[in-house]
Amino acid sequence: AQSVTQLDSQVPVFEEAPVELRCNYSSSVSVYLFWYVQYPNQGLQLLLKYLSGSTLVKGINGFEAEFNKSQTSFHLRKPSVHISDTAEYFCAVSYRKTSYDKVIFGPGTSLSVIP
């Protein structure tokens, strides 16, 4: 069975400091990896995704993530956070389940940027 773990449910960080949000997954089939962000009272929107090729993926708003197959991880990083980055961040995996595609979301990490 496929699963997604985000070990940190809450991450407080000071403005302009770097941040890393961790994501690990477990899967018996090949997966594609995504990070979504949910700003307060809004729907989710894509930050970045890894499909193939370079394991370092750059996304919107200065975020990047690195796919590590041996560690089954896809951690999200930003070198300097802003107040506006305060949001909920979701890691997700998609895979082929028998005859259809499925996406599983992790439990989310709440990033709070402190002025």
Partner 1 sequence: DTAVSQTPKYLVTQMGNDKSIKCEQNLGHDTMYWYKQDSKKFLKIMFSYNNKELIINETVPNRFSPKSPDKAHLNLHINSLELGDSAVYFCASSQVSRTDTQYFGPGTRLTVL
Q: Which residues bind partner 1 (CB under 8 A)?
A: 32, 34, 36, 38, 41-46, 49, 51, 88, 90, 94-96, 100-105, 107-108, 110
DSSP state of 52: S
Among residues 70, 2, 77, 71, the alpha carbon closest in space to that of 47 is found at 77
Tokens of 115: 């002025």
CB of 105 vs partner 1, minimal distance in Å: 4
Nearer to partner 1, 38 or 72 (CB): 38
Which helix (DSSP H) or strand (DSSP E) does residue 21 occupy? strand 19-21
Nearer to partner 1, 35 or 78 (CB): 35
CB of 13 vs partner 1, minimal distance in Å: 18
Tell me the three state secondary structure of residue 93.
Answer: strand
Nearer to partner 1, 18 or 107 (CB): 107
